[in-house]
Every structure is written in structure tokens, then in C-alpha cells.
């Protein structure tokens, strides 16, 4: 029996919620077509041409059905509990159950559904009698909106949470809201505004009775801002502060800090040291999402050293991690990187990776920011290939998205680069 490809499965099965978990399980078994491994077409394979292990999924179907049943029992139970609390005129408890349902959906990999439950909880906050209980819901709602690229909604929710927390002296919630507002500024490249908001968060962190994780998150975030601004010495100092305040012995924390260190070294063009930092971070990391990000950074450092074969191997490992770990939304960044690797190796069809990245961004309904980043990377590839007109078209699409999102620094950067090229 010839194994079907991911593309063939997508073409055959309808996009309906009832078989969503089945399709996701099929994807996790997808493996590269080894018969094409050493051919040019094999080097350009993406997830669509991977072969799915149907017999394995058939064997695992009873277990999958048990998982789905357990998940539905939890989600239905929380939904009923939310309705019963609302019937008792207790919107605060109702919202808590909705957030638990959101967490159930998130843990099952259903991010869109998790966002919908979170939105329902946020809508209930207008009916809260105990306003202090609204802050946690609003902060969760802000995080969900940010993840979806809805920055204006996220900003409004963080501000409302901050207003309530400030009024009642809730230092932890005020700190989290201020950090969230700073992160939104970072998303849009508003570096000075981000630093101002982080300073506001610092005041709340210092007044909190218990140690908050924001103690080390704040210097880490300031390090990121400093790196983006080119203040690399400040970035290193802030990173050292974060390391001094972070909990000792937690592998995932070490992975986060190690990845940040690698990024600072990469910005300094100390690529060999950056490579080692990313390798150490990868050893510490266990979550699929983080491992894909760190492996992509490692592949970038390898590519910068001219080690294109090793960069390709590491990027393919990141692709495998994204597929097996059910974090397919991470694949567009991996394919943009593989496109650069293919270009470095002289493949005329390197554009295939960028096209697949865009297709996945649309298929998975990823935030518009992710699509804009892929378009920007694609435009750079086309420009290096001498296809200026096609590059201009994709740059223009990226600019439209950035402008709609309010990412002014990205708009200025791309428009400035366009003006510079035209004046040559």
C-alpha cells in the first residue's frame, strides 16, 4: 500500500471540526519520502510531500478516541459549570470555568478554540461585581489577542487590567499588565515606549509581597530591546541581571536565557560562540515550540558561517520537531530559513520553501504579522535572485500588513530601503 502524502490527505478530507484531531494525528506521523532523499526534488521537500503512516494511525485510533473523549468530557464539563454559575448570577466563577475550558483546548492543540473560550470569559467581565477578579481574565484575554495579532484589543485589555489593579493595589496583576503593554510595544518595534512600560512594571515588581517571575522577565525583555536597538553591551548587562534573578536549576529557564545569549552573540557577529550557545540551549529545552525556535536560530548561525549542509540538517530537525510535536504553525519560519539555505546552495527553485511558508500561514490562519515576515523574507530572496519586480510586489504586501497592524518601524524600515534602492 502506497502511503499518502500530507497534500493528498488535505485534498481528500474535508476541513471539519469533527475529524480535526484525526488530521492532526496523521500529520504527526508524516515522514520525508526517503526514495527522493538524494534527488534535487528531495532536497526541496516540504510538509506537503511527506508520507503519512496510515497503519500506525489505525493502530492508535482507539487511544486517540479515548483522548478525544477525555478532552470533550473536560471541555463540556467546564462549559456546563460556566452556564450553571451564570444561572446562579455568579459571572466571576463562570468566567473561571471558561478559562479552564480554554486551557483544555490549548493543551489539546486547539488554539483557535482556546481563544474563543477566552473571548467569552472576557465578555463576562462587564458583569463582574468583584472588579478585582477581572484582572486575571483581562490579562488572559490580552495574551490571547496578542497571540492572534490583535494588538489593539490586547492593548485595551492590558490597560483595563492595569487600571483595576492600580485602583485596588494588586501589585502582581499591575506588574503583569505593564509587562504585557511593554511586550506589545516590542511587537511593533516601539523600543522607547517598551522601555518606559517596563520601568512602570519594575515599580510594581518591587512592591509585590511575593517574588514574581517578572523579576527576571523584565531584564530579559530589556536585553531584547537593547539588542534590537544595537546597544549590545547593554543587552549583555541586562541578560546577566536576568540570569542572576532567574530560578536556579530549571532547564526551560536556562534554555530561554541561553537562546537570548546566542542571539546577542549572533548580533555581535560572533557566530561560532552563538552556535555553541544555541546548542547548549537546545540541550536544555524540552518543549517542541521552544526547540523549533532555538534550532532555527542555530541553523541561522551555521548558515552565517557558510556551513550550509549542517544548517540544512538542523533546519530539517526543526521541521521534524514541529511536525512530531504538533507545532505546525512554527513551520513558516523554518521554511523561510530552508529557503535561504537552498539559495546558498544554488537551488534555482529555493522559492518553493517561501511559497509553502505563505501557504501554511494562510491554511493555519496565522497572525498577519507572521505572514508579513514571510513576505519580507521572500522579497529579500527574490531581490538577491535578481527578480526585482516580484520582490517589490511582496514587499508592498508586507508593508500593507505592517501598516494595518500599526507596526510603524517596520513600515519605515522597508520604505526607507525602497527609497535607498531607487536613488542608486
pLDDT digits 0-9 by tens, 69-114:
999 999 999 999 999 999 999 999 999 999 999 999 999 989 889 9
Distance CA 191, CA 46 (A): 36
| Cell of residue 25, nine digits | 494525528
Calculate mean pLDDT across residues 267-274.
Answer: 96
pLDDT digits (tens, 9 = 90+) for 207-253: 998 899 999 999 999 999 999 999 999 999 999 999 999 998 889 99
Beta bridge mates, 31: 51
Calculate mean pLDDT across residues 195-215.
Answer: 94
What does the pLDDT read at residue 421?
77
What does the pLDDT read at residue 424?
64
For residue 88, report the phi and psi dihedrals to the nearest 5 degrees.
Answer: -85, 5
Distance CA 238, CA 217 (A): 10
Distance CA 199, CA 206 (A): 11
* Other C-beta atoms lying within 10 Å of the C-beta of residue 161: 28
Burial 328-366 (b: 16+ CB within 10 A, else e): bbbbbbbbbbbbbbbbbeebeebbbbbebbbbbbeeeeb
Average pLDDT, the chain: 93
pLDDT digits (tens, 9 = 90+) for 324-346: 988 888 999 999 999 999 999 99
The distance of Cα 385 from the centroid of its chain, to the nearest Å, equals 29
Calculate mean pLDDT across residues 127-151.
Answer: 94
Nearest in space to 208 (alpha carbons), one of 177, 173, 253: 173
pLDDT digits (tens, 9 = 90+) for 284-321: 999 999 999 999 999 999 999 999 999 999 999 999 99
Distance CA 53, CA 276 (A): 35
What does the pLDDT read at residue 37?
59
Burial 388-416 (b: 16+ CB within 10 A, else e): eebbeebbebbbebbeebebeebbeebee
Distance CA 108, CA 326 (A): 10
Beta bridge mates, 5: 51
Distance CA 161, CA 386 (A): 50
List Cβ neighbours of 226 (8 Å cut-off, separation of 6 or more): 232, 234, 235, 238
What does the pLDDT read at residue 74?
98
- Can you list the pairs that 324-327 forms with residues at least 24 positions away whose Cβ atoms lie under 8 Å? 324/28, 324/288, 325/28, 325/287, 325/288, 325/289, 325/291, 325/292, 326/24, 326/27, 326/28, 326/109, 326/288, 327/288, 327/289, 327/292
Distance CA 135, CA 131 (A): 8
Q: Considering only residues 39 and 385, tell me which one the structure prediction assigns the higher pLDDT.
A: 385
What does the pLDDT read at residue 44?
83
List, as one string, the DSSP characters of 243-289: HHHSPTT-HHHHHHHHHHHHHHHHHTT-HHHHHHHHHHHHHH---HH
Q: Considering only residues 44 and 203, tell me which one the structure prediction assigns the higher pLDDT.
A: 203
What does the pLDDT read at residue 42?
60
Q: Tell me how far apart the terminal alpha carbons of the chain are, to the nearest angstrom.
A: 59
pLDDT digits (tens, 9 = 90+) for 144-186: 999 888 999 999 999 999 999 999 999 999 999 999 999 999 9
What does the pLDDT read at residue 41?
56
| Cell of residue 131, nine digits | 472588579
The distance of Cα 113 from the centroid of its chain, to the nearest Å, equals 17
Percent of the chain exceeding pLDDT 90 equals 81
Calculate mean pLDDT across residues 20-39.
Answer: 83
Amino acid at each position: 500500500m502506497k502511503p499518502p502524502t500530507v497534500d493528498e490527505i488535505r485534498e481528500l478530507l474535508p476541513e471539519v471540526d469533527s475529524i480535526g484531531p484525526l488530521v492532526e494525528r496523521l500529520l504527526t506521523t508524516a515522514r520525508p519520502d526517503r526514495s527522493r532523499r538524494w534527488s534535487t526534488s528531495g532536497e526541496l521537500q516540504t510538509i506537503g510531500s511527506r508520507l503519512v503512516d496510515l497503519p500506525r494511525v489505525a493502530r492508535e485510533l482507539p487511544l486517540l478516541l479515548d483522548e478525544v473523549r477525555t478532552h470533550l468530557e473536560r471541555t463540556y464539563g467546564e462549559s456546563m459549570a460556566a452556564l450553571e454559575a451564570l444561572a446562579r448570577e455568579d459571572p466571576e466563577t463562570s468566567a473561571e470555568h471558561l478559562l479552564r475550558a480554554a486551557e483544555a483546548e490549548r493543551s489539546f492543540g486547539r488554539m483557535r478554540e482556546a481563544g474563543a473560550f477566552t473571548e467569552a470569559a472576557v465578555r463576562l467581565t462587564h458583569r463582574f461585581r468583584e472588579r478585582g477578579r477581572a484582572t486575571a481574565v483581562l490579562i488572559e484575554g490580552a495574551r490571547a489577542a496578542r497571540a492572534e495579532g490583535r494588538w489593539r484589543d490586547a492593548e485595551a485589555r492590558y490597560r483595563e487590567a492595569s487600571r483595576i489593579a492600580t485602583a485596588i493595589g494588586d501589585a502582581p496583576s499591575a506588574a503583569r499588565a505593564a509587562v504585557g503593554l511593554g511586550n506589545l510595544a516590542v511587537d511593533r518595534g516601539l523600543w522607547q515606549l517598551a522601555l518606559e512600560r517596563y520601568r512602570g512594571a519594575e515599580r510594581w515588581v518591587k512592591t509585590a509581597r511575593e517574588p514574581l517571575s517578572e523579576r527576571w522577565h523584565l531584564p530579559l525583555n530589556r536585553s531584547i530591546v537593547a539588542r534590537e536597538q544595537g546597544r549590545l553591551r547593554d543587552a549583555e548587562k541586562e541578560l546577566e541581571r536576568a540570569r542572576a534573578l532567574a530560578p536556579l536549576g530549571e532547564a526551560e529557564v536556562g534554555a530561554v536565557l541561553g537562546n537570548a545569549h546566542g542571539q546577542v552573540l549572533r548580533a555581535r557577529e560572533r557566530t561560532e560562540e552563538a552556535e555553541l550557545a544555541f546548542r547548549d540551549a537546545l540541550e536544555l529545552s524540552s518543549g517542541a515550540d521552544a526547540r523549533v525556535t532555538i534550532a532555527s536560530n542555530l541553523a541561522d548561525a551555521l548558515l552565517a558561517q557558510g556551513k550550509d549542509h549542517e544548517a540544512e540538517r538542523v533546519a530539517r530537525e526543526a521541521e521534524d520537531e514541529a511536525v512530531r510535536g504538533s507545532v505546525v504553525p512554527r513551520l513558516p519560519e523554518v521554511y523561510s530559513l530552508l529557503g535561504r539555505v537552498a539559495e546558498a546552495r544554488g537551488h534555482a527553485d529555493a522559492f518553493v520553501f517561501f511559497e509553502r511558508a505563505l501557504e501554511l500561514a494562510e491554511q493555519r490562519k496565522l497572525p498577519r504579522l507572521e505572514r508579513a515576515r514571510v513576505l519580507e523574507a521572500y522579497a529579500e530572496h527574490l531581490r538577491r535572485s535578481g527578480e526585482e519586480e516580484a520582490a517589490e510586489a511582496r514587499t508592498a504586501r508586507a508593508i500593507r500588513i505592517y501598516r494595518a497592524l500599526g507596526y510603524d518601524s517596520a513600515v519605515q524600515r522597508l520604505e526607507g530601503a525602497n527609497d535607498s534602492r531607487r536613488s542608486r
